[in-house]
Structure 1
């Protein structure tokens, strides 16, 4: 069984479905792929993976979500798990939010909607091979 994971967070299930499918096509069964529809749900997933001793390598999070925006969530993740690669997915994040995420969440990349499977693969591959 695989002991490393990538988590995708977006409040829109169709986007999560596409992200997961693209990651699976790109990386096969090399990783576990988890999805969450909110920052709160993502923390549940993170805690469950941690309990199972599964290392989270990367989190791809939407910016515009109810309750907790992506830059705030990724900053919280970075404070608790500085080794996790953070990628923000956005159709409408302002430059200030992206810059905040760069400064406070060590944002690796910002992927703009609509993205291509090649962009996603390149960002994740590069980030995980550093």
Structure 2
């Protein structure tokens, strides 16, 4: 059986690399860490893994991305896969977008960029223990 997946979505490769490094440091090989540079790529990955019956258990998503905002992306994910835990990272989301993500995507938490590594890891630990 395959390990569960944590999916990180951000249009900045340096952010994705940093997230993967921090997650791997905190959780080791307990999970597979997938990276997507845009929501379309992320949605394709989610569908592919679902087809293969591999669980994506958590998504960390940026809010401000070129083709689709993070709240819209997470709402789309939630409609198809409501059990996936969703966390948004942002330096720029407006309050309405964050509220919408909480209301319509069952957002677990919204963290501000730049995030604190300890806060990120604690948030993920809390989210996955629900």
**Given the two structures, how large is their TM-score scaled by the length of structure 2?**
0.97
CA RMSD of aligned residues (A): 0.9
* 1:16 aligned partner: 16
* 1:89 aligned partner: 89
* Whole-angstrom CA distance in 1 between matches of 2:108 and 2:129: 13
- Please list every run of 5 or more consecutive structure 1 residues that lacks an aligned counterpart in the other structure: none
* 1:75 aligned partner: 75
Does the aligned pair in 2 maintain the 1:60–1:89 contact within 8 Å?
yes
- Deviation track 1:92-123 (CA, whole Å, cap 9, x = no partner) reads 00111000000000000001000011011001
* 2:41 aligned partner: 41
* Whole-angstrom CA distance in 2 between matches of 1:89 and 1:15: 10
Spell out structure 1 runs of 4+ moving beyond 2 A.
none
